[in-house]
Amino acid sequence: MLVECQNMSEYKNLEEVLAKAESVLAIDILQHALCLDEKIQHTMEPPEEGLYIVGGIEPLISAKKHYHYRSEYERRLVIGDLKNIFKQNEDILNHEGTMVISAKDLKLKRKYLTFTPNLPVTAVKVGTAVVMQFLNNLNRYTRSQSISYRLNRFIKPEFQDWIEREEYALAFERLLDEVSNFVGKDTWHIYFCRMRGTTLLIEKMIDYRIYKYYEQLFAQHDENT
């Protein structure tokens, strides 16, 4: 789905230069991930262990991190087995003391929480990483840092050479065609990406050369004031 945005006008500061997108592309990566054959899926790492919201691709509670029951936070006692959290009537806090999920939500929303993702989580992340790699290769000046997905993180060690062979780019060929059509000839534009569930939002921002022009203008203005 392509959404055209308003034409850019004059800017009051450099922040405003990147505040407006020329256009936005919304792609549901899930529909592409579901079309992958078993052979390519076999090369991917299993989903990160943890507690997921049904339909989510990132764990609400990750098995890689430390969490605490509220009553044990001051003593920094770490929850040993995350699967026991439903037996406790307590809020879950992260290492910084921020509540991750309340005891009330653990009880009322139990059916929306799972330790076994119901979506091909890794495949969705691989598809997103493939798009990020494509955008990063457009121009060394316009690389987007808005999503930290790196393809090698999601591929098993024995299949890392498949990345160099561009097997994943081929597997997500239709997805890349859609992104390529969105980019068109605007290879000098800055692109920002963010995820909403399984939907990847790509914002086409200002041309990098125009951005640098405004950057120089505002720098000269600051020197003269």
Mark whether 144 and 180 lie in a shared domain.
yes
Give first-to-last CA distance, the chain, whole Å: 44
Q: Which of 90, 57, 68, 67 lies closest to 199, judged by CA?
A: 57
Number of Cα atoms under 13 Å in the Cβ half of residue 220: 6
Domain boundary among 98, 114, 130: 114
Q: Which residues in 81-126 belong to E strands, given as ranges?
A: 92-94, 99-101, 113-114
Q: How many domains does the chain have?
A: 2
Report the residue count for the chain. Answer: 225
Mark whether 77 and 177 lie in a shared domain.
no
Mark whether 9 and 67 lie in a shared domain.
no
Mark whether 110 and 123 lie in a shared domain.
no
Residue 222: CB atoms within 10 Å:
10
Q: Sign of torsion, CA 214 218 219 223?
A: positive
Q: How far apart are CA 172 and CA 188, in angstroms?
A: 23
What are the pLDDT digits (tens) for 196-225? 999 999 999 888 787 777 777 777 766 666
Mark whether 156 and 200 lie in a shared domain.
yes
Candidate from 67-76, 117-126, 131-140, 216-225 with smallest mean pLDDT: 216-225
pLDDT classification of 102: cutoffs 50, 70, 90:
very high
β-sheet bridge partners, residue 114 = 52
Confidence (pLDDT) at 4: 42
Confidence (pLDDT) at 1: 52
Rounded to whole angstroms, what are the CA distances from 190 to 25, 52, 133, 206, 209? 14, 32, 14, 6, 10
Mark whether 23 and 64 lie in a shared domain.
no
Structure tokens at 125: 């992340």
Question: Could you tell me the residue range of the domain that residue 11 belongs to?
Answer: 2-45+119-224
What pTM did the predictor assign? 0.84
Mark whether 110 and 158 lie in a shared domain.
no
Mark whether 136 and 196 lie in a shared domain.
yes
pLDDT classification of 5: cutoffs 50, 70, 90:
very low
The yes-or-no verdict on residue 13 having pLDDT over 70 is: no
Mark whether 86 and 104 lie in a shared domain.
yes
Candidate from 26-30, 86-90, 173-177 with smallest mean pLDDT: 86-90
Mark whether 109 and 193 lie in a shared domain.
no
Mark whether 123 and 203 lie in a shared domain.
yes
Mark whether 11 and 28 lie in a shared domain.
yes
Confidence (pLDDT) at 161: 97
What are the pLDDT digits (tens) for 42-97? 999 999 999 999 999 999 999 999 999 999 999 989 999 999 999 999 999 999 99
